[in-house]
């Protein structure tokens, strides 16, 4: 795998793309399929919106590696580019490309505030890489909120159509907002969990470079308690949504419990016995799988 391709974290980008594809085509689009309400990002413009999202996230990874260049050189990271400046060149190239695409989309729908959302996203990721990730919990929460924003941007993009839907089919609007809200909070919590786990993985190197994170300022026992609390919050969210909010068949609720609660229990068990870096790497991978099972449930829920 080429260094540039590795630097873009293709698996992470794939998960981001899948999140938007599933939520748009399995949740949002079907609600409007049999109405006269026109979606602003239909006719292929949704894919352009997703591409802009991918550009923002890719640029975020590049600027993060730019600031981590010395650390990655110390740890002999195999996917590292030869020169630090290469990351900066690619970063600004993506910013300019994405800016033109954002301008086109904003002009197409007549909402030029979308350009400011694009610029704001770039500023947030720059601040995260240069400063916020070297703080206790703040950087972790910022990434969680950003991941949640990847989901919510679809609602913002189609807010006019969703508003009109409320007058025509309030139950359809309620279900749509329920699924989006659930997955946005789910994504937020899972990614905060994963970011803390990654901090534990990087604890030794962060200490060597005087990087401040939760892992370098808290005992492992304390970090485990926080991670268990997040998993408990996720399990509570899932249970409440499946039992109280989701209006669905018993089969769908059972599938939801299998896909959304069993992975949670597996991570709890793995976290309880975790003692070295390899264990936390496994937990980090499991958290990515958890995001995928969440998407899989949404697909099955709308399909069955």
> Nearest CA to 127 among 186, 34, 64, 216?
64
pLDDT tens, position by position, 60-103: 999 999 998 888 776 656 556 878 899 999 999 999 999 999 99
Listed by start position, the domains of the chain span 3-303
Place 111 in a pLDDT band, splitting at 50, 70 and 90. Answer: confident
What integer pLDDT is reported at residue 112 of this predicted model?
86
**Tens digit of pLDDT for each residue in 142-180?**
999 999 999 999 999 999 999 999 999 898 899 999 999
Query: Where does the pLDDT of residue 1 fall: very low under 50, low under 70, confident under 90, or very high at 90 and above?
Result: low
pLDDT band of residue 237 (cuts 50, 70, 90) is: very high
As a whole number of angstroms, the distance between CA 289 and CA 93 comes to: 31
């Amino acid at each position: 795998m080429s260094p540039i391709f590795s630097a873009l974290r293709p698996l992470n980008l794939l998960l981001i793309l899948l999140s938007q594809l599933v939520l748009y085509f399995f949740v949002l689009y079907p609600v409007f399929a049999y109405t006269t309400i026109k979606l602003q990002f239909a006719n292929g413009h949704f894919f352009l919106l997703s591409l802009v999202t991918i550009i923002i996230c890719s640029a975020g990874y590049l600027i993060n590696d730019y600031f981590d260049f010395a650390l990655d050189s110390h740890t002999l990271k195999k996917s590292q580019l030869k020169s630090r400046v290469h990351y900066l060149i690619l970063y600004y190239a993506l910013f300019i490309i994405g800016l033109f695409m954002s301008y086109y989309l904003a002009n197409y729908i007549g909402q030029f505030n979308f350009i400011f959302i694009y610029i704001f996203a770039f500023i947030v990721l720059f601040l995260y890489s240069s400063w916020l990730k070297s703080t206790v919990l703040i950087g972790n929460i910022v990434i969680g909120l950003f991941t949640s924003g990847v989901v919510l941007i679809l609602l913002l993009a189609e807010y006019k159509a969703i508003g009109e839907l409320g007058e025509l089919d309030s139950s359809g609007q309620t279900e749509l907002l329920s699924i989006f809200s659930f997955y946005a909070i789910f994504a937020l919590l899972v990614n905060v969990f994963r970011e803390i786990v990654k901090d534990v993985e990087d604890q030794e190197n962060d200490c060597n470079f005087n990087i401040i994170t939760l892992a370098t300022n808290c005992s492992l026992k304390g970090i485990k308690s926080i991670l268990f609390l997040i998993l408990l919050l996720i399990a509570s969210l899932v249970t409440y949504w499946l039992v109280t909010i989701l209006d669905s068949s018993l089969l769908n609720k059972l599938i939801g419990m299998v896909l959304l609660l069993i992975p949670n229990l597996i991570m709890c068990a793995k976290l309880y016995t975790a003692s070295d870096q390899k264990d936390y790497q496994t937990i980090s991978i499991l958290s990515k799988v958890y995001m995928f099972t969440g998407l899989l449930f949404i697909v099955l829920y709308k399909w069955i």
